[in-house]
Structure formats: structure tokens, C-alpha cells
A and B are shown apart, each in its own frame.
Chain A
Amino acid sequence: MAEYRITLPLTDADVEKLRAGDSVLLSGEMLTGRDAAHKRLIALLDEGRELPVEIRGQTIYYVGPAPASPGHAVGSAGPTTSYRMDAYTPRLIEMGLKGMIGKGMRNEQVRRAMQQYGAVYFGAVGGAAALIAKSIRESRVLAYPDLGTEAIHLFRVEDFPVIVLMDAHGGNLYEQGPREFGEE
């Protein structure tokens, strides 16, 4: 289990080398999005219309931050549970989405798309939201401001701590980790 410092956007070489269990500090820019924003993006695709943000090469953090209090770039901002995005994710990976940050399991379709097109699913520690917010230096809304916390934001992060949960080669820390420690 290696440790890396990676600057976003993720390159194909990054995606290729990362393995489930690796610890990574991410710096650079990422998008945010939850169910409501994903639903709108997919509806636009279904209508053959252009998206308000570029997905190719991007990393999406599944988060709905708390409001920023004075002196903070963003409020507490830990990951939300990712399976709620599973229905939408394969389409985005097909369009070139390279990274996702969340918590919890993904379905078979998402894992297959990750392997087919090359994408990585990172985990941030769910609930460690005040700690994670410290690595977010800037936040601004890129699309869907009416969604409030669920709007698509651009986050500029520095040394944002994540663990590779699922890699582009079929590795899955949610299977490997519990298997090692389970006593059943």
C-alpha cells in the first residue's frame, strides 16, 4: 500500500498506477456534486444538450458542505454515501470522468465502467468533515446555485487526504480489508 502526492487533474498514468489501499494527498481543483446535480447532468445528456461543466478528466467529490462560517473557505465537508450516484456514474465515466471521492460501496456497473474506461474511486473518512475542510482552500459555485449545498462547486484543495477504495484494475478495499480482519 503506497503513499502518493498527486496534483489534479488525474492523468492516465495516475489512474494506471493507483491500487486499492493506497493513501493519497490530492492537490488542485475538483468538482463537487450529489444526487440532485447528477440527476440534472444526466437529464441534459438525455436531451443531447451541453453540460454546464467539463467532465472530461475531472474528479467529482460527493459532498454537500455545511455553510462556511466567517474565516473559513468552506464549512465542514466530508463525503456523502456514493451509491446514490451509481445510477448516473457510468455515463459520466464514459465521458471521461477520472476520479470520484465518496464513501461506501459502488455497484457492479460503476466498477465495470471504471475498469473499462479507467477511473479511480477514492474514499475520504466519512464524518471527519471538519478535518477534511481544513484542506479545502477555496470554494465557488460553478452550476446550479439554486440547489444550495447540492450545487456543483469548484474546490481548490491542498493535501486533501484520501484512500483508494476501488482502482481501475478491479481492486476493492471494501473486500480486501474486511476479509483480512473478519472472524466469521
Chain B
Amino acid sequence: MREIQVAELTAGVRELFLKANYEIGPDVEEAVCRACREEKSPVGRDVLCQIRENYRIAREERVAICQDTGMAVLFMDIGQDVHFTGGDFEAAVNEGVRQAYAEGYLRKSVVQDPLFDRINTRDNTPAVIHTRIVPGDRVHILVTAKGFGSENMSAVKMLVAADGEQGVLDFIVDTVRKAGPNPCPPVVVGVGIGGTMEQAALMAKKMTARPLDTWNKDPRYRALEEKALAAINRLGIGPAGIGGNTTALKVNIDFAPTHIAGMPVAVNMCCHAARHGEMTL
């Protein structure tokens, strides 16, 4: 058994959110640069240029890439031989989020009650924490600072086997088409296929945080990622939604076993400010 002080968690989470909000990942930056070279619309190229310049300013001046510094989402894979000591696990994670958003001049965008009062909690907590127990004695933390312009354009649909690959493809492309300019294109599209309703949504969220230079290991799903990306980029929505052939930077798909009667599909939209990071403790 390995003991980990929860203070280590706090420090790690704080560091991850600061970095994610100031420094865009090299995978995302590279994808935007490539789009900039290949975009046919001159105005679209200007927009992509502004996005690159924005990444540079944020990194150099240590200011937020986007003012919507998101809701803090964490995927934590916890080795079953780990024993956390020195405090409450969730409180320690939230403390890391609180410190990052306070000290980093990041916007606090969380309201306590979603329907009635909508009063800001003023420290961007609580975070959305997904834990999984895995073999071993390590802790892997994947975080994403999820903006809501794109989150609001996401969708889940309960398809059935008869809908087939075409049904999935149509649902992905339709979701992006309906979103139009709202999610700050070029977008990253996270897709979860199978499982149950909430498992599909969870996979989709995790896929928005998968590096853009990786593909599904199953060649059929990889082909679907590529087909969906090509179809989305034929929509013409373009950078900032004002026309062009770069509407999405990447489609990341994951899948899971499902019930004989169903095929849930979730599409989680993420913007070009695709802020994610990971570390292992």
C-alpha cells in the first residue's frame, strides 16, 4: 500500500488547471496551424491567425486563453493500493481548483443552484469529479476546463442497431450543423458510442480531452473518426462560423459494450480553446 497526502492532490490539481488555462496543448496548437495553412476562406484564415496569436499572448503573459475558464472536470484513475491521508479526498481536489482559479485570475463561473437562485459560488467549485478504481498504486489525473459555449451545443441520442454507422454519422454531423457558430469553431468533437446513456456521455466528455494527434485503436472506429471529420468540414461553417472549410479540428470517438436493444450516442462539443492536461502521482 502506498500513502499519498491529499495535499499532493491539491497541489497537482492546482497546477493542472493553471497550466491548462494559460498554455494550449501542442496538439491543439499544431492542429490550428495546419488548419491555417489549409483553410480556403481568407477571413477564415484571419480568424485562425487570431486564435494562434491569442494562444501566444495567453502563454507569454500568463493570462487565460478564454475568459470562460470553464467548469473544472476531472477524471481520476486511482490505484487500488493507494491510501489517501491527511484529509478528505474531494475537499482536497476542490481546494486545488479553488486555489488555481483564485490565484490565477481565472473566472469563477459556477452557480450553486442551477434553476432557482443561480448564485455564484465565487471560487469555481464544486468541480465535476469522476473516479475509477484501477490496479496499482498510482493516481492518474486528467483534467479539462470545460467552457459552456460549446458544452451547451452537446447532445445525446438513443439510437438502435438498425440506425447503423450512417445513423451515428448523421447524428454527429447534425449536432455540429445545428451548433453553427455558437461553440466557437473550429471545434473538437468528443463522441461516445454504446454503454448506457450516462456512460456514452462520460466517454464523449473524455474524448474532448484526448490528444488531437491520437486516433481510436480499432481501425473501423478510426475510419469513422476520419469520415465524420471530413463530413463536418464540408458543412462550410468555418472558423468562428463565418464560412470556411475548417469547422472541426478533430473527431475523437470511444465505444463501450451496450445492451442488445440499444446504441446510445453522445456528442460533446468542445471549442478551439480545448484545455486539458494530465499527470500521474
Contact = CB atoms under 8 A, between A and B. Distances in A.
Interface of A: 1, 21, 36, 63-69, 72, 75-78, 80-81, 83, 103-105, 123, 125-131, 133-134, 148-149, 161, 163, 165, 173-174, 176-184
Interface centre among B57, B122, B243, B244 (most CB of A within 10 A): B243
Interface string B176-205: 000011101000000000000000000000
Contacts of A176: 243
A134 B54 CA distance: 10
29 contacts: A21-B43, A64-B109, A66-B67, A66-B106, A66-B107, A69-B62, A75-B63, A75-B107, A81-B182, A103-B149, A104-B182, A105-B180, A123-B240, A125-B240, A126-B240, A127-B65, A127-B66, A128-B51, A130-B54, A130-B61, A130-B63, A148-B108, A161-B50, A173-B242, A177-B41, A178-B241, A180-B236, A181-B236, A184-B236
Among B64, B235, B244, the one with the most A-chain Cβ atoms within 10 Å of its Cβ is B64
Contacts of A104: 149, 180-182, 241
A177 B242 contact: yes
A83 to B, nearest CB: 7
Contact of A129 (B64, B240, B242, B245): B64
Interface in B23-80: 40-41, 43-44, 47, 50-51, 53-54, 57-58, 61-69
Given A66-B64, A126-B271, A163-B240, 16 more contacts: A66-B69, A66-B106, A76-B66, A103-B240, A103-B241, A104-B241, A125-B50, A126-B184, A127-B147, A130-B63, A149-B109, A174-B241, A178-B242, A181-B236, A181-B243, A184-B234
Nearest to B48: A125
Contacts of B107: 64-67, 75, 149
A9 to B, nearest CB: 24
Contacts, number: 164
Interface of B: 40-41, 43-44, 47, 50-51, 53-54, 57-58, 61-69, 105-109, 118, 120, 122, 147, 149, 152, 180-182, 184, 234-238, 240-245, 271-273
B184 to A, nearest CB: 4
A90 to B, nearest CB: 20
Contacts of A161: 50
B50 A131 contact: yes
Contact of B57 (A134, A173, A184): A134
Contacts of A36: 118
